[in-house]
Amino acid sequence: MKRLILAIACASLAFSTAAYAGEYTLVIDKQTVDVGGRKGESLTINGQLPGPTLRFKEGEEVTINVVNKLKVDTSLHWHGLLVPAAMDGVPMFNGFHGIRPGTTFTYQFKIRQSGTYWYHSHSGGQEQEGLYGSIVIEPADKEPVPSDRDYVIVLSDFTTETSDDILANLKSDSGYYNYARRTAGDFFSDMSEKGLVATIRDRLAWGEMRMDPTDLADVTGYTFLVNGKSESANWTGLYKSGERVRLRLINASAMTYFDFAIPGLKLIVVAADGQNVQPVVVDEIRMAIGETYDVIVMPKDDKAYTIFAQSLDRTGYARGTLAPHEGMSAPVPPVRPRARLTMSDMGMGSMEGMDHDMSGMSGMSGMSGMGGMSGMDHSKTSMADMHAMHGAKPAANTKADAQPTGWASGAPPGTKVLSYADLRSLKKQKDTRPEEREIMVRLGGTMERYIWTLNGKKEADATPIELKYGERVKLTFINDTMMAHPMHLHGMFVQLVNGQPAERLPNKHMVSVPPGKSYSVMLTADEAGEWAFHCHLLFHMQSGMMNKVVVARLGAEGAK
């Protein structure tokens, strides 16, 4: 462990001196690591987990040599960066075929933005196994919000299981990792709370859908990390009383949403997904996988504060410390109780008003209906059927206070949790046109079989979404499933349709769509290429929840 720390220290030194040299080398390898007492094989970048922080400057022409020392193909994708399509690093897109074992691939692109981003492998499940790191880009002009100190906080989920094993376990038993299922004890406690009839009705309704309301996270057994350090290793960032400290929060997990807070400190959110926003003061942020948030904190007392990020399924937390001196620590709060989805979260209306005669659904499971089954529309998930049957319309973009209860953070009353509706772009948006067309994206899947889809199709069967260069479209996500999906578009920023004026819609590359809800974003298709478009839950992406957005520039060279 000591050696790893030393390595990290040396490497970060090397990177701070090499800062704007323009050429970087990243060596991808495999080694044994010890994380919080868990020993296992991990993929590493320059011997580190996570990989080194890449510090660029806006306008810089960067050259990144990626050396593959693994026995399998690899790749690195620059998450949130505007790059030429061929440099985006997704195998089988734009003529890129991954980086073969023993070879070096050289990425070259100009840095056209500033802010906090990250990078990770886009090959198989390598991201889960350690191939991720942070990117910090200094703006060409001054930072709009200056700070005295600047720390990167990379949150991640570490496991010693290989990503192939995890996926195989999920495919054979989707509840493999769920140790929070409803038990006999829950039945009796629900019964004393809601009564026997309501409890039985609730169980029957979930049973009818063959869905599990406790499925908040598909994978458990993680050790959650702050900058590669477990809770006990306690990553510590130093401050002097009265300083403004900028924390660049990155959720680099494979499968974990975090509720992030620093008890005792207000978080002033100044950027989301690397893009500056008008400052918003909050107590807590629910961070979807792949999101980054820059926050300013101003600790005044001469004491330690706990950086606390509890996983959505409450199986654990990542923890670090902000302190005036090394070795200090503050109390670690308990994780909050786990939330559970309710029927109303799923757009089903109240239980009382529910019609339990779901004949349309039971029909498909009848043995006698076997012949008809082969003719069924397999693209429909149970939830889609339910929407159709109950005439439930997907709700419009939801405000924080109207979030589904099962998706609520469970924060005590008076806690201000960041909502997408709070985000206002600092810079005025150039393109404020209304959409020329709307593209619906249904987020679907069958948990039981661990198949996840976009518009009813797995990646292998999907038709790419084609956009004309310069076209302004609205993408509307409709989540037919009971999990939130952090949707990610490569190559371009989208703007959240969050109730702010058109010129203040915030740029994002991640859009978290809560269970059973819908959300719209605007997109100007101004980057030509084949762009990956997927759920950033790693195993959802691997199970089919991915498609291609093709922006074709039709003989209009220099149309930009």
Applying CB under 8 A, does 374 fall inside the site for another protein?
yes
Q: What is the rounded distance in angstroms from the CA atom of residue 213 to the CA atom of residue 333?
A: 26
For 40, the 3-state DSSP assignment is strand
User: How many residues sit in the footprint of another protein (CB under 8 A)?
Assistant: 41
Applying CB under 8 A, does 174 fall inside the site for another protein?
no
Q: What is the rounded distance in angstroms from the CA atom of residue 229 to the CA atom of residue 309?
A: 13
Rounded to 5 degrees, what angle do the CA atoms 436, 441, 447 make? Answer: 175
Residues between 10 and 39 that touch another protein (CB under 8 A): none
Class of residue 74 by CB neighbours under 10 A (exposed 0-12, middle 13-18, buried 19+): buried
The least distance separating another protein from the CB of residue 303, rounded to whole angstroms, comes to: 39
Class of residue 353 by CB neighbours under 10 A (exposed 0-12, middle 13-18, buried 19+): exposed
- Choose, by CB under 8 A, the member of 17, 172, 192, 463 that binds another protein: 172
Whose Cβ is closer to another protein: residue 280's or residue 443's?
Answer: 443
Whose Cβ is closer to another protein: residue 447's or residue 511's?
Answer: 447
Whose Cβ is closer to another protein: residue 207's or residue 242's?
Answer: 207
Whose Cβ is closer to another protein: residue 127's or residue 283's?
Answer: 127
Applying CB under 8 A, does 184 fall inside the site for another protein?
yes
Applying CB under 8 A, does 381 fall inside the site for another protein?
yes
Q: What single DSSP character describes residue 144? A: S
User: Which tokens in the block code for residue 168?
Assistant: 């195989």
Choose the stretch contacting another protein; rule: CB under 8 A; options: 46-54, 172-180, 331-339, 397-405. 172-180
The least distance separating another protein from the CB of residue 383, rounded to whole angstroms, comes to: 10
For 6, the 3-state DSSP assignment is helix
Q: What is the rounded distance in angstroms from the CA atom of residue 120 to the CA atom of residue 488?
A: 13
- Choose, by CB under 8 A, the member of 42, 74, 382, 512 that binds another protein: 382
Ordered alpha helix ranges (H), 236-377: 359-365, 370-373
Contacts of 430 (CB under 8 A, 6+ apart): none
| Nearest CA among 100, 17, 25, 18 for reference residue 65 | 25
Q: What is the rounded distance in angstroms from the CA atom of residue 53 to the CA atom of residue 16?
A: 9
The least distance separating another protein from the CB of residue 478, rounded to whole angstroms, comes to: 18
- Choose, by CB under 8 A, the member of 62, 155, 167, 265 that binds another protein: 167
Applying CB under 8 A, does 559 fall inside the site for another protein?
no
Whose Cβ is closer to another protein: residue 67's or residue 383's?
Answer: 383
- Choose, by CB under 8 A, the member of 192, 353, 460, 557 that binds another protein: 460
| Nearest CA among 117, 115, 137 for reference residue 60 | 137
Applying CB under 8 A, does 461 fall inside the site for another protein?
yes
Choose the stretch contacting another protein; rule: CB under 8 A; options: 332-340, 367-375, 487-495, 521-529. 367-375
For helices 196-209 and 184-194, the axis angle rounded to 10 degrees is: 130
Check: CB of residue 377 under 8 Å from CB of residue 457: no
Residues between 521 and 550 that touch another protein (CB under 8 A): 542, 544
Whose Cβ is closer to another protein: residue 393's or residue 449's?
Answer: 449
Q: What is the rounded distance in angstroms from the CA atom of residue 40 to the CA atom of residue 30?
A: 10
Check: CB of residue 231 under 8 Å from CB of residue 224: yes
- Choose, by CB under 8 A, the member of 30, 149, 171, 468 that binds another protein: 171
Whose Cβ is closer to another protein: residue 146's or residue 185's?
Answer: 185
Tally of CB atoms within 10 A around 280: 18
- Choose, by CB under 8 A, the member of 6, 179, 281, 302 that binds another protein: 179
- Choose, by CB under 8 A, the member of 100, 303, 378, 427 that binds another protein: 378
Choose the stretch contacting another protein; rule: CB under 8 A; options: 6-14, 132-140, 207-215, 267-275. 207-215
- Choose, by CB under 8 A, the member of 30, 38, 69, 182 that binds another protein: 182
Q: Which residues bind another protein (CB under 8 A)?
A: 167-169, 171-173, 176, 179-185, 204, 207-210, 358, 361-362, 364-365, 367, 370, 373-374, 376, 378, 381-382, 446, 448-449, 451, 458, 460-461, 542, 544
